[in-house]
Amino acid sequence: MPCYFTKLPNGSKAIICGKLGKHCADCRDVGTNLCDYPVGSRGRTCDRSICEAHSHEIGPNMHYCEAHYRMWKQTAERQGVLPLDRG
């Protein structure tokens, strides 16, 4: 049975064991969001599992992983669009 470290809201850490679903691709914490960055065709998205700490909310219910957030931000800055950084 796998065990994971996670941070609690009060800042302390805990160990959780069991099958908890998908985990963050960057830190292995429990993933709470999937990356919504568009890839390929037919409305496909990255779908990389990301935790709250590594999730960048760029719009209502729209989250990007670290790598795609950096790409999106660079493109927005080049085009003179100030990105809305919610995370």
Q: What is the pLDDT of residues 33-86, one digit of tens each?
A: 999 999 988 999 999 999 888 999 998 999 999 999 999 999 888 888 765 555
Q: Which of 36, 38, 33, 71 is nearest to 53 (CA)?
A: 33
pTM to 2 decimal places: 0.68
Tokens of 82: 């100030």
- Cα-to-chain-centroid distance, residue 77: 21
Confidence of residue 23 (pLDDT cuts 50, 70, 90): confident
Tell me the C-alpha distance between 1 and 58, whole Å.
35
Place of tokens 């960048």: 56
